[in-house]
Amino acid sequence: MNEIGGTARAGTEVERLVRLNVVALMWAFIIVGALFFLVPDGVVVFTNLVGSWLGEFSEAPQTGFRLWLSLATAYMVLVSVLAYLIQRDLHGNRPLLLVLAAGKAASSLTCLLFYLFSLDAFGYLLNFLVDGSIVLNCLVLYRVLDPRRRTRARASGLPRGLERGGRGRAILDAVLATVLADDDRVDGGRAVPSPALDEELLEYLRGLGPSGPRALLPALLAIEYGTPFWFGTLRPFTRLGPAERAQYLRGFETSRFYLRERVLFPIRFLATTLFYARPEAEAAIGYERPRIDRARVGIY
Q: List contacts with other proteins (CB under 8 A).
A: 1-2, 5, 178-181, 184, 186-187, 204, 207-208, 246, 249-250, 253-256, 258, 261-262, 268-269, 272-277, 281-282, 284-290, 292-294, 296-300
Looking at the Cβ atoms of 148 and 294, the one nearer to other proteins is 294
Contact 11, 150 (CB under 8 A): yes
Looking at the Cβ atoms of 5 and 95, the one nearer to other proteins is 5
CB of 105: closest distance to other proteins in angstroms?
A: 36
Contact 223, 156 (CB under 8 A): no
CB of 137: closest distance to other proteins in angstroms?
A: 24
CB of 157: closest distance to other proteins in angstroms?
A: 14
Contact 35, 69 (CB under 8 A): no
Provide the residue type at 138 as one letter.
C
Looking at the Cβ atoms of 120 and 282, the one nearer to other proteins is 282
Looking at the Cβ atoms of 60 and 281, the one nearer to other proteins is 281
CB of 218: closest distance to other proteins in angstroms?
A: 16
DSSP of 112-143, one letter per residue? HHHHHHT--BHHHHHHHHHHHHHHHHHHHHHH
Indicate the burial class of 223 (C-beta count within 10 angstroms; 0-12, 13-18, 19 or more): buried
Looking at the Cβ atoms of 26 and 180, the one nearer to other proteins is 180
Nearest one of 287, 267, 252, 83 to 168, comparing CA atoms: 267
